[in-house]
């Protein structure tokens, strides 16, 4: 029997350390008992007497790409009326590299209109989320997403999430196509092998959910990479090129940074252990940028990824979820010991990938000196290099909807039905409309103007490089607003920047409704992290972080804590002034803040 056909904590002698740990979190027990992520999902979906599912099923549904949520705006009034929570589901797609056809985008709009809340949201991992899906519609939504040849499998949960990759369709050379093809290969390779997803969401269920249960396996199919308990926590992978870190590669559990010689991709620096989430009240929690582990050639990518995932599977913390991300495994082991452990797993990894043992050198080499040097958000019109064009269109906080004069959703219907065949979603929650004939450019510009959609040239840099997580009312973890208030905060910041003649500066402003960091605030130039809510006014208070940058390879530091939303711009003004007066030539705002240090900021001389 293959070593990996056992449960993760029984996988092999190497797993001894994990097997000796008796204590497991509740989620671990749910995963183990789930029979390949099936649990009671089918029964609970079929139960017409309730509008929600139980906690264990909520946990398992994440692996299928959906979170149970409730409308927090309605909690109080419903409680007064003696009603329970207003439950609905968020459904997240898995779209490697954010690559979609026009038909798929239109399909998502249709599903949102017919079975969701009528909006879609482009996520920070190049995917699409639908919100407001009631339980009765959940099966229909996921089934229909599969009908348009997309999937939600492992878009959430303790597995490898959507694989991110620079989405620009630049064909002046082969580099981005190579990256995107590799992202597709990785996505297939790390997809869980359980048949549960297909059974529950894709099979024709005319016979009813309960009969599906009767035919379901009673023992889980062992997953060659994940075992039967999957990973201790989520696992994120991204691919980028040094001069264009548009996917924030250092924020991922595993980053592949392409190293090139001329137009040739010679390999990747493997970065491990990035992650933004933290719990401020716990001293042992922290956000982290990934660490440079080794260098691999393109044909060695799948086995190195597999080995890193298996080490995390076997040595990640399964007792305390706040300590379960790979960054903590590496922190506790130390990078040299972690690297040695990865080397020990290489033979199994090579075997799983169907590659010859010894394909990767042992010991693993040092990383190549190449590192991130730039960032490109790909907004505006660009020649693709194949006679066609693409248009990068900023979408405020990724939300696609019709709202007053801004009829973004209607604009996309016109464009995708008539003028655009393909698109790609960016990790800044924007969209690239791709493969456009030169003759269509003016028509597209006009269609956007007719629907009140502003292009890159018509919005400020502050707005262009900002984004927020959803937070209230849907996220159960939110302590403050985020998506709903960031536009007004940007209004205020724009006023200050205009006043100081700094409007041309390019720097990132990212807001989250809690310290979990879904919008990657901890390495942005200005990070605004929700900390508390004023009980009387309902105004949120935020921790202001300064000192990251658009390149994404520098951590920000706390500048001020508990800043009321209405005072954020005024709090930043003295720092902007300091920047204006003391910056070095060409220095970005975040680099300036990092060089000066947060202690010295805010007191311009």
Q: Which is nearer to ligand SF4, 305 or 518 (CB)?
A: 518
- 477 counts as binding ligand SF4 under rule CB under 6 A: yes
Instruction: Please identify, among the stretches 60-68, 344-352, 449-457, 506-514, the one whose residues bind ligand SF4 according to the rule CB under 6 A.
Output: 506-514
Min CB(305)–ligand SF4 separation in Å: 25
Q: Which is nearer to ligand SF4, 63 or 295 (CB)?
A: 63
Min CB(530)–ligand SF4 separation in Å: 6
Min CB(231)–ligand SF4 separation in Å: 19
Binding characters for ligand SF4, 319-348, by CB under 6 A (x = yes): ------------------------------
Instruction: Please identify, among the stretches 145-153, 301-309, 475-483, 541-549, the one whose residues bind ligand SF4 according to the rule CB under 6 A.
Output: 475-483
Q: Which is nearer to ligand SF4, 107 or 515 (CB)?
A: 515
- 513 counts as binding ligand SF4 under rule CB under 6 A: yes
Using only C-alpha atoms, the chain has a radius of gyration, in whole angstroms, of: 24
Query: Which residue in 175, 379, 432, 475 binds ligand SF4 (CB under 6 A)?
Result: 475
Q: What are the structure tokens assigned to 180, written together?
A: 């995107």
Angle, vertex CA 104, rays to CA 98 and CA 106, nearest 5: 115
Min CB(198)–ligand SF4 separation in Å: 29
Min CB(482)–ligand SF4 separation in Å: 6
Angle, vertex CA 521, rays to CA 158 and CA 393, nearest 5: 95
Residue 531 main-chain phi, psi, to 5 deg: -120, -40
Does residue 167 contact residue 428 with C-beta atoms inside 8 Å? no
Binding characters for ligand SF4, 433-472, by CB under 6 A (x = yes): ------------------------------------xxx-
Q: Which is nearer to ligand SF4, 66 or 422 (CB)?
A: 66
Instruction: Please identify, among the stretches 106-114, 300-308, 347-355, 510-518, the one whose residues bind ligand SF4 according to the rule CB under 6 A.
Output: 510-518
Does residue 94 contact residue 151 with C-beta atoms inside 8 Å? yes
Min CB(400)–ligand SF4 separation in Å: 18
Q: What are the structure tokens assigned to 600, written together?
A: 């010295």
- 151 counts as binding ligand SF4 under rule CB under 6 A: no
Q: Which is nearer to ligand SF4, 200 or 511 (CB)?
A: 511
Query: Which residue in 478, 485, 563, 568 binds ligand SF4 (CB under 6 A)?
Result: 478
Q: Which is nearer to ligand SF4, 330 or 518 (CB)?
A: 518
- 240 counts as binding ligand SF4 under rule CB under 6 A: no
Q: How far is CA 344 from CA 232, 292, 295, 358, in A?
A: 20, 18, 17, 12
Q: Which is nearer to ligand SF4, 144 or 233 (CB)?
A: 233
Find the distance separating the first CA and the last CA of the chain, reported in whole Å: 71
Q: Which residue has the tokens 């390149």?
A: 551
Min CB(542)–ligand SF4 separation in Å: 12
Does residue 133 contact residue 108 with C-beta atoms inside 8 Å? no
Cis peptide before 463 (omega within 30 of 0): no
Q: Which is nearer to ligand SF4, 116 or 287 (CB)?
A: 287
Q: Which is nearer to ligand SF4, 15 or 466 (CB)?
A: 466
Instruction: Please identify, among the stretches 139-147, 194-202, 385-393, 509-517, the one whose residues bind ligand SF4 according to the rule CB under 6 A.
Output: 509-517
Q: What are the structure tokens assigned to 104, written together?
A: 């798929």
Query: Which residue in 514, 556, 568, 569 binds ligand SF4 (CB under 6 A)?
Result: 514
Spatial distance between the Cα atoms of 193 and 197, rounded to a whole number of angstroms: 9
Query: Which ranges constitute the DSSP H helices of 334-383?
Result: 335-352
Does residue 551 contact residue 246 with C-beta atoms inside 8 Å? no
Does residue 133 contact residue 116 with C-beta atoms inside 8 Å? yes
HEC-encoded secondary structure of 132-144:
EECHHHHHHHHHH
Spatial distance between the Cα atoms of 4 and 14, rounded to a whole number of angstroms: 11
Torsion sign (Cα): 385, 390, 396, 401 = negative
Spatial distance between the Cα atoms of 182 and 165, rounded to a whole number of angstroms: 9
Spatial distance between the Cα atoms of 581 and 500, rounded to a whole number of angstroms: 10
- 120 counts as binding ligand SF4 under rule CB under 6 A: no
Query: Which residue in 305, 393, 444, 518 binds ligand SF4 (CB under 6 A)?
Result: 518
Instruction: Please identify, among the stretches 83-91, 157-165, 203-211, 512-520, the one whose residues bind ligand SF4 according to the rule CB under 6 A.
Output: 512-520
Q: H-helix or E-strand containing 284? A: none
**Count of chain residues binding ligand SF4 (CB under 6 A):** 13
Q: What pairs with residue 532 in β-bridges?
A: 541
Spatial distance between the Cα atoms of 287 and 273, rounded to a whole number of angstroms: 10
Min CB(122)–ligand SF4 separation in Å: 14
Spatial distance between the Cα atoms of 605 and 602, rounded to a whole number of angstroms: 9
Torsion sign (Cα): 304, 308, 313, 314 = positive
Task: Give me the half-sphere count of Cα atoms (radius 13 Å) on the Cβ side of residue 237.
Answer: 33
Binding characters for ligand SF4, 257-296, by CB under 6 A (x = yes): ----------------------------------------
Q: Which residues bind ligand SF4 (CB under 6 A)?
A: 469-471, 475, 477-478, 482, 512-514, 516-518
């Amino acid at each position: 029997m293959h070593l990996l056909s056992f449960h993760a904590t029984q996988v092999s002698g190497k797993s001894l350390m994990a097997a000796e740990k008796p204590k497991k979190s509740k989620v671990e027990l749910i995963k183990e008992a789930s029979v390949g992520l099936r649990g009671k999902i089918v029964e609970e979906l079929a139960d017409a007497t309730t509008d929600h599912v139980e906690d264990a099923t909520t946990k398992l549904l994440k692996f299928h790409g959906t979170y149970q949520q409730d409308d927090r705006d309605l909690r109080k009034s419903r409680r007064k009326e003696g009603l329970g929570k207003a439950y609905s589901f968020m459904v997240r797609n898995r779209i490697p590299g954010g690559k979609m056809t026009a038909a798929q985008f239109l399909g998502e709009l249709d599903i949102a209109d017919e079975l969701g809340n009528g909006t879609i949201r482009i996520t920070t991992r190049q995917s699409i989320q639908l919100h407001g899906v009631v339980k009765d519609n959940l099966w229909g939504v996921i089934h229909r997403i599969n009908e348009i040849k997309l999937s939600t499998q492992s878009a959430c949960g303790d597995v490898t999430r959507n694989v991110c990759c620079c989405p620009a369709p630049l064909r002046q050379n082969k580099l981005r196509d190579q990256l995107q093809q590799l992202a597709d290969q990785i996505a297939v390779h790390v997809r869980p092998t359980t048949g549960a997803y297909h059974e529950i969401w894709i099979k024709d269920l005319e016979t009813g959910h309960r009969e599906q249960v009767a035919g379901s396996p009673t023992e889980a199919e062992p997953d060659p990479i994940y075992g039967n308990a999957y990973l201790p926590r989520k696992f994120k992978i991204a691919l980028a090129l040094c001069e264009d870190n548009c996917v924030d590669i250092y924020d991922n559990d595993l980053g592949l940074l392409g190293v090139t010689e001329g137009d040739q991709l010679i390999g990747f620096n493997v970065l491990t252990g990035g992650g933004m989430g933290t719990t401020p009240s716990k001293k042992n929690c922290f956000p982290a940028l990934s660490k440079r582990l080794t260098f691999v050639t393109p044909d060695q990518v799948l086995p190195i990824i597999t080995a890193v995932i298996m080490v995390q599977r076997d040595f990640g913390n399964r007792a305390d979820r706040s300590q379960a991300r790979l960054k903590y495994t590496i922190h506790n082991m130390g990078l040299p010991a972690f690297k040695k452990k990865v080397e020990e797993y290489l033979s199994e990894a090579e075997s799983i990938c169907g590659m010859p043992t010894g394909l990767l050198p042992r010991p693993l080499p040092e990383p190549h000196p190449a590192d991130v040097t730039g960032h490109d958000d790909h907004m505006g019109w660009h020649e693709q290099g194949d006679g066609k064009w693409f248009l990068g269109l900023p979408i405020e906080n990724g939300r696609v909807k019709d709202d007053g004069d801004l009829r973004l959703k209607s604009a996309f219907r016109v464009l995708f039905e008539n003028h655009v065949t393909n698109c790609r979603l960016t990790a800044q929650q924007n969209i690239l409309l791709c493969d456009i004939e030169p003759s269509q450019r003016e028509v597209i510009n006009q269609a956007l103007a007719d629907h009140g959609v502003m292009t890159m040239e018509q919005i400020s840099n502050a707005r262009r490089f900002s984004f927020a997580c959803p937070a209230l009312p849907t996220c159960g973890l939110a302590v403050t607003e985020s998506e709903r208030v960031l536009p007004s905060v940007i209004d205020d910041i724009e006023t200050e920047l205009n006043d100081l003649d700094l409007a041309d500066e390019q720097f990132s402003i990212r807001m989250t409704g809690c310290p979990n960091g879904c919008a990657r605030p901890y390495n942005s130039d200005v990070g605004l992290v929700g900390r508390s809510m004023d009980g009387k006014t309902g105004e949120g208070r935020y921790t202001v972080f300064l000192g990251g940058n658009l390149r994404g390879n520098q951590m920000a530091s706390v500048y001020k804590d508990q800043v009321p939303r209405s005072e954020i711009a005024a709090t930043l003004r003295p720092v902007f002034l300091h920047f204006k007066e003391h910056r070095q030539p060409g220095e970005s705002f975040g680099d300036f803040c990092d060089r000066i240090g947060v202690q010295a900021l805010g007191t311009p001389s």
